[in-house]
């Protein structure tokens, strides 16, 4: 069965996330700038979509950037936007990361922003255990007062993904990563315009 993310066009995703009332695209890009400063060498970005945040990457720190996504159209756009700028360093990989048989290249760091929501904490921790990067960083959203998808004229387009998304339990994610050899090195909260929060957690391999 096709992943529901294949039913959400990239322009709809980016327009919705970038609305001033939602403000998530901008917040994710600034979180990524901070995440890139915490690692170097090679980085795997899970759920890269159209490459939001890649403009923040300090190219002198990275020899390889692996962008992975289940939606091939997102990767096509990402390639058009960034391949020339990054030369041979950007590698886009079409894969469903909820499938444990999918093998990824080794990477020094994994960045997964608004991604664990769709594969679950256990599957994510298992993959990290398999890859063993030195640095892991995730951003996930907290929805105390509002629904999972922020209200906008585009909300309906996200109906297909409602069936696979769930709130990330930060304490559980932290526990699972500890069990596979990581210690948390950072916890940060970002307040969004509509009252939602993003939480960022970073871990280092012990
Ligand atoms: C909410 S978007 C986040 C995009 C991006 N990180 C950002 O900052 O805008 C979630 C992304 O994860 C991808 N995704 C969801 N489930 C996936 C899976 N099982 N395997 C690979 N990619 C997946 C979606 O296609 C989408 O691009």
pLDDT digits over 7-46, tens only? 999 999 999 988 988 889 999 999 999 999 999 999 999 9
Q: What percent of the chain has pLDDT over 70?
A: 97
Encoding tokens for residue 120?
């679950």
Pocket test for ligand 1, best of 36, 118, 200 (most atoms within 8 A of CB): 118
pLDDT of 146 reads 57
CA distance 180 to 24: 30
pTM of the model: 0.96
Residue 100's CB is within 10 A of a number of other CB atoms, namely: 10
Q: Give the ligand 1 atom nearest the CA of 8.
A: 25
- Distance in Å, CA 28 to ligand 1 centroid: 13
Residue-wise pLDDT tens digits, 106-158: 999 999 999 999 999 999 999 999 999 999 999 999 876 556 667 677 788 88
Q: Confidence class of residue 190 from pLDDT cuts 50, 70 and 90?
A: very high
Q: Give the pLDDT of residue 147.
A: 62
Question: Could you identify the atom of ligand 1 that is nearest to the CA of residue 74?
Answer: 27
Give me the count of residues in the chain. 206
Residue 191, classified by CB atoms within 10 Å of its CB into exposed (0-12), middle (13-18) or buried (19+), is exposed
Q: Is pLDDT larger for residue 195 or for residue 92?
A: 92
């Amino acid at each position: 069965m096709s992943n529901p993310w294949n039913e959400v066009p990239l322009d709809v995703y980016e327009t919705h996330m970038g609305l001033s009332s939602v403000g998530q695209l901008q917040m994710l890009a600034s979180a990524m700038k901070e995440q890139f400063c915490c690692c170097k060498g090679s980085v795997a970005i899970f759920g890269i979509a159209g490459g939001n945040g890649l403009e923040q990457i300090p190219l002198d720190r990275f020899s390889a950037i692996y962008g992975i996504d289940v939606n091939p159209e997102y990767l096509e756009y990402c390639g058009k936007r960034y391949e020339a700028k990054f030369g041979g360093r950007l590698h886009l990989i079409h894969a469903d990361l909820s499938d444990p048989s999918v093998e990824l290249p080794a990477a020094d760091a994994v960045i997964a922003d608004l991604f664990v929501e769709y594969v679950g904490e256990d599957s994510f921790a298992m993959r990290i255990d398999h890859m063993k990067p030195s640095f892991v960083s995730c951003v996930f959203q907290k929805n105390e007062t509002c629904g999972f998808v922020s209200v906008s004229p585009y909300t309906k387009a996200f109906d297909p993904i409602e069936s696979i998304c769930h709130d990330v339990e930060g304490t559980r994610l932290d526990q699972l990563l500890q069990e596979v050899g990581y210690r948390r090195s950072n916890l940060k909260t970002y307040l969004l315009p509509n009252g939602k929060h993003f939480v960022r957690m970073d871990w280092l391999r012990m």
